[in-house]
């Protein structure tokens, strides 16, 4: 029986689940090696200062301590490269793997201790005497922008980079526009917060000079190259192994200081060293995200056509430009127009270094923020012009025949920075969202006071870029037991990758899914690979699998042709049987045949969709209840509706956390005030029960053989703007305009109180 597409498109149960449900998952903290030593890291307690001295003698003398390593022991301190979106001026702000001479944020590594037991390693940290001469903190970008005190003297500025996006002639459009409005917005610093903290286990074998590092994910091949270079050994002497991973969301798996320090320590003590981050460390050491301040302006005709958006965004980058520190600044200027036809754009973003934890990406980087700015402006304009906000958006969405359409040009940067929206039926999907949501009925409630709460609705649209990173590898090998081993460079961070990739491989080989043995993420599996980020794993890894499958079947055909002396083309495959010229073979008759293929793609995919929200606001407390939240998106082709649905729901709730709860706060000295889960609030099960999502495969992507588009971030992107608009809609009688996230009850309460007193004095 031939079963085309038997698995793709169906809600196959996850292959991962049985192990994870029975406690048999193996995360890096679960690995056990003989003679395992344990590392702990001393981190700077001050945000900006000069290291006068580090006295490690008492720590070294503690029984059980094997080594205390500072910049001194490392010698030439390596600097971490920028992996994504590097710009020349940004190079000056890269992070050394350990502080030497100067500390620039609370949490910066200063020393690493290796001991026989984790508790002893932590005890030893307390015996290190660190003498730091404090320098003025740069706890916010405004202070940093003054350049009165510099974080990097050599750079002579605290401005790390500027990104500019342009389309048309914004100033001319604004000069002629019927209507303009300017507003200030801000998004607060928060973070991806995977449930598993980071961890690494480095195994150094002196006899062979080989380093194996466990606990990596996301981009193992890149990190291997970096690590080998930093350690001064051959790439082939380094292997990075992916084990189970407890969530990534953009932040996990980048090359952090610890990704050097832990392996270095293992080689230094000639042994096996494990480091598991604790939650307080995690909150001060792992990438933060999203802190920015914007002044944005919209221009429209009086009929409601948006003719331009311009503005300036100031980004608090934190102390260093990390591996993907410029991805958010780039995205936020390029994606302001999202799925809307806005002919004139001029957006600048300036990134400033401050003495706080460095920032990187978090799911929907720059897109969540730019969508917040854009959607808020659209609602304000629609309200001012007296047009229904849904009708206003339908009017301004890019129409299908206008696609493909380039996004704003990234100025002074080469073609690799430019991108265009591929295809899609944006208005159709938005209309579907309105219908699912019941817009016609619910809009009637806007602004009404019902049972003591104001009710409001909003709708917004997003695009989600996917399939970045240019290439991916996949290999396939026929095994003696009739299984096919499939290895991919994509990595698994908890998103069900194994299942989705097995579905694609099984369909491509016409094999039952049980006969696919899927391996991923480790540098031992393939000659090269990339990994999982930028919603790329399914499209890139999946397309690489299709190529590998085609090549493998070709090998089998040739072999059949030779054995039977018939034309290879006449061979057919189904359910693990190979048939030609009336003869039948089992797949294992071809055991040993093996291929590795690379899928190359320079065009990004753009899934897209709409969100709608219905909220009730308690004006007495500032508390908001989300009564209904609906998303509809088109991902080109759905591989597994169940895993996708799960991703979207999870993303929406993360977005609601970003919008209402999560906030990394610092005091004026650059001390992190939110270093535990008691201070940093994540969504819990009682917060947001009412979410619905529909995923469609409406317009397959023209740029890859699967027709799929990257997905999984879209559930988050539009949440900030849509929720803030729904709150503004609820509070329209008070003219409250929420422009600063998060929309916590005290903040909203203050806005309401201010609006009321303004009303009184009017």
What separation in angstroms does the CA of 603 have from each of 406, 514, 540, 708, 710? 12, 33, 11, 13, 12
Report the distance separating Cα 690 and Cα 625, nearest Å.
10
Scanning 302-310, 379-387, 392-400, 678-686 for contacts with other proteins by CB under 8 A, the matching segment is 678-686
* Interface pick for other proteins out of 6, 9, 29, 705 (rule CB under 8 A): 29
Containing H/E element for 370?
helix 367-385
d(CA 79, CA 91): 10
Applying CB under 8 A, among 233, 682, 694, 753 the residue interacting with other proteins is 682
Q: What gap in Å lies between CA 573 and CA 475, rounded to an integer? A: 19
Residues in CB range of 409: below 8 A, 6 or more apart: 165, 166, 167, 418
Q: Which of 338, 494, 712, 721 binds ligand FES (CB under 6 A)?
A: 494
Shortest distance, position 278 Cβ to other proteins, whole Å: 6
Three-state SS for 167?
strand
H/E element, 165: strand 159-167
Sign of torsion over alpha carbons 149, 152, 157, 160: negative
- Residue 685 contacts ligand FES per CB under 6 A: no
Q: Can residue 652 be called a binding residue for other proteins (CB under 8 A)?
A: yes
Binding part of the chain for other proteins, among 193-201, 429-437, 443-451, 479-487 by CB under 8 A, reads 193-201
Distance CA 751, CA 762 (A): 16
Q: Looking at residues 690 to 709 of the shown chain, list those that interact with other proteins (rule: CB under 8 A).
A: 691
Task: List all residues 6 or more positions away from 153 whose beta carbon is below 8 Å from its beta carbon.
Answer: none
CB-wise, 195 or 207, nearer to ligand FES?
Answer: 195
Q: Considering beta carbons, is residue 118 or 447 the nearer one to other proteins?
A: 118
Contact characters 256-285, other proteins, x per CB under 8 A? ----------------------xx------
For ligand FES, the closer of residues 49 and 494 by Cβ is 494
Which of 51, 124, 143, 196 is close enough to bind other proteins by CB under 8 A? 196
**Considering CB distances under 5 to 8 angstroms, the limit depending on partner class, which of ligand FES, other proteins, none binds residue 572?**
none
What are the strands, taking DSSP E only, across 1-95?
36-43, 49-55, 65-70
Measured CA to CA, the distance from residue 560 to residue 41 in angstroms comes to: 59
Residue 247 binding ligand FES, by CB under 6 A = yes
**Sequence-ordered alpha helix ranges (H) in 146-210:** 170-176
By CB under 6 A, is residue 715 in contact with ligand FES?
A: no
Order the strands of the 516-520 sheet from edge to edge: 516-520, 484-488, 471-478, 594-600
Q: State the number of CA atoms in the 13 A half-sphere of 509 facing the CB.
A: 33
Q: How far is the CB of 686 from other proteins (least distance, A)?
A: 4
Site for ligand FES in 413-472 (CB under 6 A): none
Here's the x/- map for ligand FES, 180-199, by CB under 6 A: it reads as ---------------x----
DSSP 433-470: HHHHHTHHHHGGGTT-EETTEEEEEEEEEEEEEE--SS
Q: Which of the choices ligand FES, other proteins, none does residue 653 contact, using the CB cut-off of 5 to 8 A by kind?
A: other proteins
Query: Which residue's structure tokens are 């702000």?
Result: 93
Least distance in angstroms from the C-beta of 247 to ligand FES: 5
Stretch of 13-21, 67-75, 218-226, 376-384 contacting other proteins, by CB under 8 A? 13-21
> Of 86-125, which residues contact other proteins (CB under 8 A)?
119
Rule CB under 8 A: say whether 21 interacts with other proteins: yes
In the complex, minimum distance from the CB of residue 86 to other proteins, in angstroms, rounded to a whole number = 29
Is there binding between residue 514 and other proteins (CB under 8 A)? no
Task: Note whether 643 binds other proteins by CB under 8 A.
Answer: yes
Contacts with ligand FES, residue ranges (CB under 6 A): 195, 247, 494
Contacts with other proteins, residue ranges (CB under 8 A): 13-14, 16-18, 20-27, 29-30, 32, 119, 193-197, 244-247, 249, 278-279, 493-496, 642-643, 645-647, 649-654, 676-678, 682-689, 691
């Amino acid at each position: 029986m031939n079963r085309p597409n038997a698995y793709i498109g169906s809600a196959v149960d996850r292959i991962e689940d049985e192990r994870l449900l029975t406690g048999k998952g193996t995360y890096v903290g679960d690995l056990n090696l003989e003679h395992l030593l344990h590392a702990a890291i001393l981190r700077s307690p001050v945000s900006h200062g000069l290291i006068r001295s580090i006295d490690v003698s008492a720590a070294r003398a503690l029984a059980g301590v094997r080594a205390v390593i500072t910049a001194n022991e490392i010698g030439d301190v390596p600097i971490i490269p920028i992996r994504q979106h590097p710009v020349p001026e940004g190079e000056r702000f890269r992070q050394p793997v350990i502080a030497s001479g100067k500390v620039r944020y609370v949490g910066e590594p200063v020393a690493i201790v290796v001991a026989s037991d984790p508790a002893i390693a932590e005890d030893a940290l307390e015996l290190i005497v660190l003498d730091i001469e404090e320098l003025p903190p740069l706890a916010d970008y405004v202070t940093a922008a003054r350049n009165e005190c510099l974080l990097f003297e050599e750079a002579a500025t605290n401005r790390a980079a500027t990104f500019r996006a342009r389309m048309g002639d914004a100033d001319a459009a604004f000069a002629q526009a019927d209507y303009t409005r300017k507003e200030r917005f801000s998004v607060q610093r928060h973070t991806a917060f995977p449930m598993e903290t980071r961890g690494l286990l480095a195994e150094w074998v002196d006899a062979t000079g080989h380093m194996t590092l466990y606990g990596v994910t996301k981009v193992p091949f890149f990190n291997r190259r970096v690590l080998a270079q930093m350690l001064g050994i051959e790439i082939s002497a380094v292997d990075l192994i992916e084990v189970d991973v407890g969530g990534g969301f953009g932040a996990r798996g980048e090359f952090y200081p610890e990704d050097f320090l832990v392996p270095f320590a293992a080689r230094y003590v000639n042994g096996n060293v494990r480091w598991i981050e604790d939650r307080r460390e995690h909150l001060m050491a792992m990438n933060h995200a999203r802190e920015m301040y914007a002044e944005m302006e919209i221009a429209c005709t009086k009929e409601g056509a948006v003719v331009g958006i311009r503005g300036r965004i100031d980004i608090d980058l934190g102390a260093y430009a990390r591996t993907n520190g410029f991805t958010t600044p780039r995205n936020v200027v390029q994606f302001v127009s999202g799925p809307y036809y806005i002919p004139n754009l001029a957006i600048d973003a300036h990134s400033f270094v401050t003495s706080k934890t460095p920032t990187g990406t978090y799911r929907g980087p720059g897109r969540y923020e730019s969508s917040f700015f854009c959607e808020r402006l659209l609602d304000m304009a629609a309200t001012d012009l007296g047009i229904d906000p849904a009708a206003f958006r339908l009017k301004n969405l890019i129409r299908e025949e206008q696609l493909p359409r380039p996004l704003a040009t990234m100025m002074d940067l080469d073609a690799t920075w430019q991108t265009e929206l591929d295809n899609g039926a944006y208005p159709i999907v938005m209309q579907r969202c309105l219908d699912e949501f019941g817009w016609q009925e619910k809009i009637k409630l806007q602004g009404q006071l019902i049972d003591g709460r104001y009710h409001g609705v909003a709708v917004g649209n997003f695009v989600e870029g996917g399939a970045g990173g240019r290439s991916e590898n996949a290999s396939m090998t026929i095994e003696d037991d009739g299984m096919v081993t499939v290895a991919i460079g994509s990595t698994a961070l908890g998103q069900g990758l194994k299942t989705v990739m097995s579905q694609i491989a099984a369909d491509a080989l016409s094999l039952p899914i049980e006969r696919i043995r899927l391996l991923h993420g480790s540098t031992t599996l393939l000659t090269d690979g990339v990994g999982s980020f930028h919603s790329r794993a399914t499209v890139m890894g999946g397309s690489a699998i299709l190529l590998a499958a085609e090549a493998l079947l070709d090998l089998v055909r040739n072999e059949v042709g030779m054995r039977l002396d018939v034309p290879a083309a006449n061979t057919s495959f189904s359910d693990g049987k190979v048939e030609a010229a009336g003869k039948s073979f089992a797949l294992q008759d071809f055991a040993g045949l093996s291929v590795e293929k690379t899928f190359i793609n320079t065009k990004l995919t753009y899934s897209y969709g709409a969100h709608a929200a219905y909220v009730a606001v308690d004006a007495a407390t500032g508390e908001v209840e989300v009564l209904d939240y609906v998303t509809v998106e088109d991902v080109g082709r759905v591989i597994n509706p169940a895993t996708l649905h799960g991703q979207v729901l999870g993303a929406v709730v993360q977005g609601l956390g970003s919008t209402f709860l999560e906030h990394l706060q610092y005091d004026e000295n650059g001390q992190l005030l939110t270093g535990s889960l008691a201070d940093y609030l994540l969504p819990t099960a009682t917060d947001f029960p009412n979410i619905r999502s529909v995923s469609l495969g409406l317009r397959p992507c023209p740029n890859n053989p699967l027709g799929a588009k990257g997905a999984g971030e879209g559930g988050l992107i539009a949440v900030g703007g849509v929720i803030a608009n729904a709150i503004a809609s609820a509070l329209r009688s008070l003219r409250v305009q929420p422009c600063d996230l998060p929309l916590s009850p005290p903040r909203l309460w203050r806005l309401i109180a201010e609006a009321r007193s303004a009303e009184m004095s009017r």
